[in-house]
Amino acid sequence: MSPARFQPGDRVRVRQADVPGHLRTPWYIRGHAGEIERICGFFANPEELAFNRHGLPKRALYRVRFAQKQVWPDYQGPATDTIDVEIYEHWLDKA
Amino acid sequence: MRQHHDMGGEPAGAVEKTEHDYAPWEKRVDALMVLLSDRERNLMKVDELRKNIEAIGPDAYHKMSYYERWITSITSTLLQRGAITSDELATKIADIERREKAGLL
Amino acid sequence: MSTHTHHDHDHDHDHHDHSHPTEPDIDGPLSYHQKLEIAVRELMIEKGILSADEVRRTVEAMDARSPAGGAKVVARAWADPAYKQLLMTDPSKALPQAGVEVGLYKLVVVENTESVHNLVVCTLCSCYPRAILGLPPDWYKSRAYRSRAVREPRKVMAEFGLEIPADIAVRVHDSTADMRYLVLPKRPKGTEGWSEEKLASIVTRDTMIGVAEARIP
């Protein structure tokens, strides 16, 4: 199992991937950039577990914080409002 | 393509603050999931349950209640795993319907 | 609910459900899904994979979990700064100290402060900290909540009667993976010197999801 690619504070972008299957990266956050808030741990890939496969190797899961005003074009609220989403490492690139 | 269960950010109406006490059958569905997915039995992963819920077509998904989706998914998962066969399921359902007609349920 | 009997020795103790005042007696025919539940349960019992007793005990354990568990933990955190610190950094140690089950998932406790208000949702399904709070309410699993809580959290909270001023940031948590979230609500003024028990009495489920603030009744 390789070490986490990203550390808290890193800017990352969620991949804009569109594939079938059991995905835990919500549609609304794909393509958006945010900041690593914490490393949640290392987990098997749920996309594989969904088919009763082992999902190994474990990979890092991050909590990524996004500014609501950047995620939603019509967001009605202060610039300080944020949304935290858990994203698996294979869905993230350096921003 | 956004999958229909992936609904964050989609338009929707007011949140109806409904609550209901879960019916015994619903609690048993939950219990089945807890037991079948435990380490000892390992007959289902929560990810398979979710995947099979997501596989329910959009119309049916939104028409079904939460535990109706769960039992549908649990059944699909067990069939996929081979823990039950479709013959066994069909026979059992027919038996249940017969017992219901006979007033035994 | 009509009593289900089995043709084998293990009787599903449905007759004891009549003592629950909350559940209505449904005398109508079994729905398609109710039949599926019976079918799966009976097949699993016949194959020796589980027993009726285990099903019953699992339901009882579920019934025993309620927001009171979470309220206890919050009250202790309010009363004891050292406990609060432990709760924020290592819930798996903090929860058993309060006699609360840890559960299968990693818990993250998010604290409401003078500058941040937290709101929890699971847009993809309805993940919820069941081990601490029991089963989630219908509305938490509803299409409207799952769709809108991420996009217009302030409006959704307003529908629950909660207005957060603009100088407090709203932080939404979408529980998409293996973490579960518990909001640590702000302790209201005027509760100084209250016992933990009294403090727990004002910590409702909704305050721990984030759609309400703890108030003195």
pLDDT bucket at C160, cuts 50 / 70 / 90: very high
3-state secondary structure of C118: strand
Same domain (yes/no): C78, C137: yes
Q: Which chains touch A (3 or more CB pairs under 8 A)?
A: B, C
Q: Which residue of B has its CA nearest to C6?
A: B105
Q: Give per-residue pLDDT as tens, B18-62.
A: 889 999 999 999 999 999 999 999 999 999 999 999 999 999 998
CB distance C58 to B34 below 8 Å: yes
pLDDT in tens, C128-154: 999 999 999 999 999 999 999 999 999
Q: Which of A95, A93, A87, A90 is nearest to A40 (CA)?
A: A87
Q: Are residues C189 and C201 in the same domain?
A: yes
Contact status of C147 with chain A (Cβ, < 8 Å): no
Question: Tens digit of pLDDT for each residue in C45-84?
Answer: 999 999 999 999 999 999 999 999 999 999 999 999 999 9
Residue A5 within a domain: no
Same structural domain, C92 and C142: yes
Cβ contact A78–C166 (<8 Å)? yes
Is residue A89 within 8 Å of A62, Cβ to Cβ?
yes
- Residue A39 sits in a domain of what CATH number? 2.30.30.50
Residue C182: domain span: 67-209
Same domain, C33 and C74: no
Site of tokens 């741990």: A41
Touching B: which chains, 3+ CB pairs < 8 A?
Answer: A, C
Q: Cβ(C138)–Cβ(B20) under 8 Å? A: yes
pTM given for the model: 0.91
Fold of B24-101: Cyclin A; domain 1 (1.10.472)
Domain of residue A40: give its range: 11-94
**Which residues does C94 contact at the CB level (< 8 Å), separation at least 6?**
C73, C83, C86, C87
- Give which of C107, C68, C85 is closest to C202, Cα–Cα: C68
How far, in Å, are A14, A21, A36, B51, C86 from residue A17 at the CA level? 9, 12, 20, 18, 39
Indicate yes or no: CB of C177 within 8 angstroms of CB of A41: no
| H-type alpha helices, chain A | 46-49, 68-71
Residues in chain A: 95
Whether residue A57 has a cis bond before it, omega within 30° of 0: yes
Judge if C40 and C103 occupy the same domain. no
> Is the four-CA dihedral C73, C94, A1, A53 of positive or negative sign?
negative
Nearest residue, CB atoms, C169 vs list A41, A63, A80 = A80
* Domain shared by C115 and C189, yes or no: yes
Number of domains forming the structure of chain A = 1
| C84 and C154 assigned to the same domain | yes
The three-state secondary structure class of A84 is strand
Query: Do both C53 and C78 map to the same domain?
Result: no
Quick one: pLDDT at residue C68?
A: 97
Considering the domain architecture, whether residues C99 and C37 belong to the same structural domain is answered as no
Q: How far is A11 from chain B (nearest CA, A)?
A: 23
